[in-house]
Amino acid sequence: MTQLHPAADYRRKVLIVEDEAINRLMLGNIVSRDYEVLYAQNGQEGLDIMKENASGLSLVLLDLLMPVLDGFSVLKIMHEDERLRQIPTVVLTSEGDAEVDSIRLGAMDFIKKPYNNPEVILARIQRIIELFEDRKLIRNVEYDQTGLLTREFFLEYMRQMDEREKADRDLIAVRIENFSLVNEIYGREEGDHILATLADSLRHFLTVHPGIAGHEDAGRFYLYCTHLEDPNELQMIAEELKKLEEIPRVRLRFGIYPVTEQEDADLENRLNSAVFACDSLQESASENIALYDHKVHEEQVLAERLISDMDRALEEKEFLVFLQPKFNVENDKPLIAGAEALVRWKHHDLGMVSPGTFIPLFEKNGLVHPLDLYMLEECARIVSGWWKEYGTKIPVSINLSRIDFYDADLKKKLDDVLAKYGLEKPDIHLEVTESAYTDDNLIVERIREMQEAGYVIEMDDFGAGFSSLNMLSSMPIDYLKLDLKFARTVDTDEKQYHVVECIADFSRYLNVSIIAEGVENREQYEALKKAGCAYVQGYYLDRPLNEEDFLKYIRKEEEEC
Amino acid sequence: MLSIETLRQYGADVEEGLTRCFQNEQFYLRLVKMILEEPNFAALKSKLEEKDLKGAFEAAHGLKGVCANLALTPLCKPVNEITELLRAETEMDYAPLLEQILNGKEELRKLIEE
């Protein structure tokens, strides 16, 4: 006899529910050759055992005429119970007419009394268990924990819908904004609750706009449904979620890729396009629905192009370092004190690409990490060149991204590059954005390790997010770079001026120096200086310079030395 | 003493019965002996006396399955007959059929207890 799935070398459990002792033992003797057998003498006893072992039972063999609770009643109760319904049941019968009723109530097959050849009985039991286990296996792959289709099956059913009938439909990507954060703040259980609620509300939506719904990863869902005349109909899904009182700020974003009868893009591409439209919505944007239109299409094409050109650009050194001079303004005359390294992409085909275009893109998919390391190496080369050529050097700060800190070898990589170019740790300052500090304790610990090893740490964009003065006292920081917004209003808004003054006072006490960036005119410059900022950078003093143009400062340093 | 041979002489289809027991003679004989404790003989008798045809049917039906599984052919015939009559709730004198059944059981008792 062939074996059931080899993965299961344990003995599956079969329950025999039969009131006649002789029949029970005879059947038990047959079944126990291949299975572990449990016995019940009537329907009630059978149900009790099923409830105790529901997920562990592979099959129930059920007699129909029994005292206390008969087989029909057992089938009915099983049928109405979510868990018991999952157990395949074979009815033991000698009554031809009862078979139809049993089938209606969910029985899978019959074993007739008197019993047939035992081998036949065992073969039938095996076949039914196999069928059920395969079905369960397929269901598990087809649907995920939310009860929605998995990506693969969503794509397959999309294909089938198109094949059956060409029509105008919408493919919609749905994303829960910052879902990982929701999980972190409210806990996994609450996160799962949100996913289940959203799945329900998508199912409800499909009763109005027939179609299918799928779930990919944590916060990402899909719909493929009849075309929406008004995309704002999607707001009913968001409304449902607003009922979750305990989590006040769950926001949904939708990206719609309209599929016409003439559609020829393949399924994966369509799905990616809907996702791209969804992700093109900025976090701060008030609207939450994006249509995949010509503009989004152009953006997507550019994004894909930039991502695929990244490796080549690194090899061909298409990324250029620009240096934004940083001045010490504590004396009458501003003195060059360092530079912030800014990246520019001189694309071989597209020309200059703005960092505003490619940095957010690379931050999303992690490509920013190799770019940051590239910048580190380039800056080390430049600073070391100054030293060799002019016998002078000033520190250059490079920007590190969140993802860099998840590289356990980051410190070693930094050390190696500095060693390779014969530099000291304070020669390359590390800029870390304020939000990275508030994201993850691991990041803070890694920054602390760097600082303790001798690196100079600059906290970037201070005041843009949720940081507080209090946190400054416990965080590893050497320099504080004020967010651009301070420089913009410090000369016109008295309150803002006092805020800067207060930050500067407090920082002085902590031995942390303040750097103001984005200084564009004399008024701003004077106000920041007066408020106590020791360092300033911005167009008012100088613009970002390429390597060659920056040499004017190095030569000047050389002369003064 | 009950043996495969005496059962065969009694008229049982022992080959069929043994097949259902994976040819395990001991096990088969043990099950046959259990028929003496089968409560449906007494239930059939009392339900018929009470003219409870539905109750009598349930008892007969239970016996039918057991006798058929044990391949006790001499018992099967009258048990099947009475089951079908009771299923149809036929109003008749069931005494002769009942006697046949109880005699068949008695015969078995002798085989077992001798």
Q: Which of B21, B58, B65 sits opposite A113 (nearest CB)?
A: B65
Distance between CA atoms of residues A541 and A520, nearest Å: 8
Question: Beta A252-259 vs A169-176: how paired, if at all?
Answer: antiparallel
The per-residue pLDDT for A442 is 84
Q: Which of B37, B62, B69 sits opposite A26 (nearest CB)?
A: B69
* pLDDT tens profile A357-373: 999 889 888 899 999 99
* Cis bond before residue A544 (omega within 30° of 0): no
The answer to whether A516 touches A497, Cβ cutoff 8 Å, is: no
Joined tokens for residue B97 = 């059929």
What number of other Cβ atoms are within 10 A of residue A146's Cβ?
20
Joined tokens for residue B31 = 């099950």
Joined tokens for residue A7 = 């993965």
Residue ranges of B 25-84 with Cβ closer than 8 A to chain A: 27, 31, 34-35, 37-38, 58, 61-62, 64-66, 68-71
Burial grade of A359 (CB within 10 A; 0-12, 13-18, 19 or more): middle
Sequence-ordered list of residues with C-beta below 8 angstroms from that of A252, at least 6 positions apart, any chain: A174, A175, A176, A177, A198, A237, A238, A241, A288
Averaged pLDDT score across all residues of chain B: 93
Q: What is the per-residue DSSP string for A177-218?
A: TTHHHHHHHH-HHHHHHHHHHHHHHHHHHHHHS-EEEEE-ST
Q: Is B9 touching A (CB cutoff 8 A)?
A: no
Handedness of CA A401, A402, A405, A406 (dihedral sign): negative
Percent pLDDT > 70 in chain A is 95
Place of tokens 């030395």: A561
- Chain B residues in contact with A25 by the CB 8 A cut-off are 31, 34
Q: Which of B58, B64, B70 sits opposite A22 (nearest CB)?
A: B70
Amino acid, res. A397: S
The answer to whether B33 touches B1, Cβ cutoff 8 Å, is: no
* pLDDT tens profile A21-47: 999 999 999 999 999 999 999 999 999
Q: Is A19 touching B (CB cutoff 8 A)?
A: yes
The per-residue pLDDT for A384 is 97
Mutate to test the interface with B, among A20, A61, A113, A120 (most CBs of B within 10 A): A20
Distance between CA atoms of residues A272 and A205, nearest Å: 22
Joined tokens for residue A452 = 């303790």
H helices present in A280-315, as ranges = 294-315
ipTM of predicted assembly, 2 dp: 0.94
pLDDT tens for chain A, 561 residues: list them: 444 544 444 688 999 999 999 999 999 999 999 999 999 999 999 999 999 887 789 999 999 888 889 999 999 999 888 888 889 999 988 765 577 888 888 888 888 888 888 999 999 999 999 988 888 777 778 888 888 999 888 998 898 888 888 889 999 999 988 787 777 777 788 888 889 989 999 999 999 899 999 998 878 999 999 999 998 999 888 887 777 766 656 788 999 999 988 877 888 889 999 999 998 887 656 788 998 988 888 888 899 899 999 999 999 999 999 999 999 999 989 999 999 999 999 999 999 999 999 998 898 888 999 999 999 999 999 999 999 999 998 999 999 998 899 888 999 999 999 999 999 999 999 999 887 877 678 889 999 999 999 999 999 988 876 666 777 788 899 999 999 989 999 999 999 999 999 999 999 988 999 999 999 999 999 999 999 999 999 999 999 999 999 999 999 887 776
Among B44, B80, B65, B18, smallest CA distance to A23 is for: B65
The per-residue pLDDT for A7 is 40
Question: Beta A220-226 vs A211-215: how paired, if at all?
Answer: antiparallel
Q: Which residue of A has its CA nearest to B40?
A: A20
Mutate to test the interface with A, among B31, B37, B79 (most CBs of A within 10 A): B31
Give the CA radius of gyration of chain A: 34
